[in-house]
A and B are shown apart, each in its own frame.
Chain A
Amino acid sequence: MGESVPGAVGRSLGSMSAVIETRDLQKRFGRVRALDGLDLSVPAGEVHGFLGPNGAGKSTTIRVLLGLYRASGGTATVFGGNPWTDAVALHRRIAYVPGDVSLWPNLSGGEAIDLLGRLRGADPAANRDRRRHLLEVFELDPTKKGRAYSKGNRQKVAFVAALATAADLYILDEPTSGLDPLMEAVFRREIRAAVSDGATELLSSHILSEVEHLCDRVSIIRAGKTVETGTLADLRHLTGTEIAFASTGLTDADLAGWPSASRLPAIWSARTGRWPLPPTTTPCPRCCRCSRSCGCRA
């Protein structure tokens, strides 16, 4: 967090053109309003988190951005183009990993990776090393048939296919939902490496911590509408934060020398406990002994 924010500001100021831009995006399925005024703006080079509960419309938005669904209202542009009419040209620059990856049951994982690479115009010989590296770090057996993979392994097949060929925009729909924590770390490392040379990334998730680790800015959607956009620091006011405090090892004299301790009467007596921050203050994530914005005036 603390490290990524300044960099993100610099990058997003550096390039003003938005890779993804939606204004008041609407999508209706019969009488159901899946998207109901969704605004999303992702500048070039940004890793953008797309947060929302299940059913909020994340996957629907992504499918509109990929031209798989046609918007019922509002506008959506990707690289300045219309995702519905310019789909083929745009897809040459996009790598996509669906939330629930379905592979061809009787094609092996390796065949699926090669097929998708060829569809994207990749030269298999040039990508051979990259492919081998990815298969190795994801510990994926490419000879298994599509139907024999678990959910996590199907997802890995889609990752390898997406990352084996360089893209300008990576769209990842709940990418770590089937991965164990070790693989999640591998995924984070590989995706960082992929976007390090200026690619843009849209990462949808319903898990804040996942977005926290990777994203420069976040859009939060609910019931098909954008409710908040900003850096995670900007959005801290939305979360109720508690700071755990243990006074073990401190003498009364130490504590007395800490002016803000007077604001913690309960802890003072118990010498250990939790301090719920009022929702309007922005905490300093590391400590409360600083004079900046966290309100502890140390």
Chain B
Amino acid sequence: MSTLGPLLRLRRDRLQVPVWIASFGALAFFSGVAVAGNFGALAEREALVRIAVLTPTILMFRGAPQGAAVDALVFFLTFATIALMAAFMSAFLAVRHSRAEEASGRAELVGATPAGRLIPLVATMVHGVGTALAAGAAVALGLLAAGFEAAGSTLFGLAVAGTSVVFLGVGLVCAQIMRTSRGANGLASALIGVAYVLRAAGDAGGAPSADGLRITSAWPSRLSPIGWGQQTQAYTTNNPTPLLLDLAFAALLLGVALVLQAVRDLDSSLIAERPGREHARRTLRGSFGLAWRLQYPAILGWSIAGLFLGVVAGTLGETVVDLVRGNAAFEGILAGMAGGDRGSIIDVFTAALFGLIGILAAAAAMQAMIRMRQEEADGSAELLLSAPLNRVRWLLDYILLGGLALTLVLATAVVGAVLGLAQTTAAQAGDRIRSVAESGLAQVPAALLILLAGALFFAYLPRASIGIGWALLLVAVLIGQFGDLLDLPDWLQALSPFSHTPVVVGTGADWSEGWWMVGIALCLGAAAVIGVRRRDLAL
């Protein structure tokens, strides 16, 4: 065991983990402060909770409300999001320090030392559990700092840590199952998605209480590790027993990972790799064909998510309007969700959901740009660019791929919304379809701006561009989605492209800011082309 210490030092993620943990603490603190500030009156909070209880989509994205107290409201509004982020943090950490190490060959080096086969995995577990506890502590401290009571804040933090540890185990088992770190990350992400969807379905299908302020989650929620954390009902019943489920499940997963690690060979996996094709398909020609081939599974995944959200936007819009018609207070709150514009409730609702779809589209586009940098960093770009391939053409092909990715995500979302509308007996179906299509189109400028900003970083700061790219997207999303809630200053909110997305309400959207974004995006693209023409290959 004397090798554990040095290995733990190898597991440090100097920047990544502190950034994750700090953002959890900050999110908890600022949400607490903002909710307390914005919804000071009990009547306002009760109105908000009642509308949430009546709106399945809000329950899907937030959780199951437990009353209208400020702290309970903060738990309802933020827990699912923080737990989701913590789950991704832990799963990616697990894969990064297990399968990715193995695929890079570093695990072979370490495995040949007295550390052997299991100690490196144990070191990853210790590192992961420590990180999960630190994330929980950051959340608890953020809430305490916002002035909430100790027992509930501690339980909130422990619930985040519990979810985090479970998905550490999930990540480690996925790393045993899949042969590549990309595959392991993909499988772990899919399982996190399943956990989130189970909780969302359970909460949306839950039973409201008589006063309309509480939801008792349905059974699917109880199958989800994120749901378990939520069942602690921090600040209201303060029930720690669901965390035992987290503990037991995490212990099981870590045990399974250890057993698999003990019996399998280095570089092997439970799911063996299928052989590839002897000859390339006709479509694998040129750098665009290659880029598409490398990236289409991810684009397909983003598009399926877009389709799903589109269906939600199409079906639930009609339901919501039935629920809130005639209630001025509710209409006001819903209008607030879409950036303050008042308009028909359905339009506002649709715009809010298409805001999320726009984020998916921007993420899909950014990922295409990042794939280009990965090709360069991994060295395969050297083979490509020593062939008769113009590097500007190479960049434009990836920009085209990013554009295609965002278009496909938005198009499938619009198709989903139209399919959803067809399920309901919508009046003025033609108008509704037109409005949904314009909402989809309205997401293009922000996503395009994000894509071409990614291209700019690829051209001028290649080695940092992957980190900067994701950080840019994350900051833009946080500002765009939580800017209002967190009461951020206007100039800061104005920095996020998502704050300038045209909102389709009533007769149509104001596209002036959208056109500005398209113009800026094209300038960034031109600058990226100039940069790529001038710079060396950056291995």
Using CB atoms, name the residue of chain B closest to A110: B278
Q: Are B103 and A158 in contact (CB under 8 A)?
A: no
A121 touching B379 in the complex, CB below 8 Å, given contacts A107-B293, A142-B278: no
CB of B16 within 8 Å of the partner chain: no
Given known A100-B379, A119-B388, contact A70–B536 (CB-CB < 8 A): yes
- Measured CB to CB, the nearest residue on chain A to B388 is A91
Residue from the list A70, A106, A116 in contact with B387, Cβ < 8 A: A116
| A248, CB-defined interface residue at 8 Å | no
Q: Knowing A69-B537, A88-B389, A121-B388 touch, does A111 contact B277 (C-beta < 8 A)?
A: yes
The CA of A206 and the CA of B462, in the complex, are separated in Å by 31
CB contact under 8 A between A110 and B279, given known A88-B388, A94-B386: yes
Q: Report chain A residues within 8 Å CB of B285.
A: 115, 118-119
A120 and B388 contact, Cβ closer than 8 Å, known pairs A98-B383, A108-B276, A114-B279:
yes
* Among A94, A107, A144, contact of B275 (Cβ-Cβ < 8 Å): A144
Question: Which residues of chain A have C-beta atoms less than 8 A from B103's C-beta?
Answer: 147
Interface residues in A, total, Cβ within 8 A: 44
Complexed CA–CA distance, A96 and B379 (Å):
14
Closest to A65 in B: B386
Interface pair A102/B380, CB less than 8 Å apart: yes
Residues 351-395 of B, flagged 1 when their CB comes within 8 A of A and 0 if not, give 000000000000000000000000100111011111111110000
**Known interface pairs A114-B280, A114-B284; A102-B386 also in contact (CB < 8 Å):** no
A69 near B383 (CB under 8 angstroms)?
no
| A111-B284 CB under 8 A given contacts A89-B388, A147-B103 | yes
Instruction: Tally chain B residues at the interface, Cβ within 8 Å.
Output: 36
Which of B103, B182, B287, B380 is the most central at the interface, judged by chain A CB atoms within 10 Å of its CB? B380
Asked if A63 and B275 make an inter-chain contact with CB atoms under 8 angstroms apart, the answer reads: no
Which residues from 257 to 279 on chain B have a C-beta closer than 8 Å to any C-beta of chain A? 273, 275-279
Pairwise interchain contact A115-B278, C-beta atoms closer than 8 A? no
- Per-residue CB contact flags for chain A residues 235-257 toward chain B (1 = under 8 Å, else 0) read 00000000000000000000000
Which of B276, B379, B388 has a CB less than 8 Å from the CB of A143?
B276
The 8 Å CB contact of B380, one of A104, A110, A113, A161, is: A104
B290 adjacent to A104 (CB under 8 Å)? yes
Output the least CB separation between B398 and chain A (Å): 14
- Those of A61-99 within 8 Å (CB) of chain B: 63, 66-70, 87-89, 91-92, 94, 96, 98
Tell whether B286 is near chain A: CB-to-CB under 8 Å.
yes
- Pair A102/B388 contact, Cβ less than 8 Å: no
- The answer to whether A105 has its CB under 8 Å from any CB of chain B is yes
Determine the chain A residues whose CB is within 8 A of the CB of B280 once the complex forms.
107, 110-111, 113-115, 118
Question: Quick check: A102 and B382 within 8 Å, CB to CB?
Answer: yes
Contact A88 B390 (CB under 8 A): yes
A144→B275 CA distance, assembly (Å): 5
Residues in chain A within 8 A of chain B (CB atoms): 63, 66-70, 87-89, 91-92, 94, 96, 98, 100-116, 118-121, 124, 142-145, 147-148, 158, 161
A-B contact pairs, 25 of them (CB 8 A): A88-B389, A91-B389, A98-B382, A102-B378, A102-B383, A104-B290, A108-B278, A110-B276, A110-B280, A111-B284, A114-B279, A114-B280, A115-B285, A118-B280, A118-B284, A118-B285, A119-B387, A119-B388, A120-B387, A120-B388, A124-B279, A142-B278, A143-B277, A147-B103, A148-B273
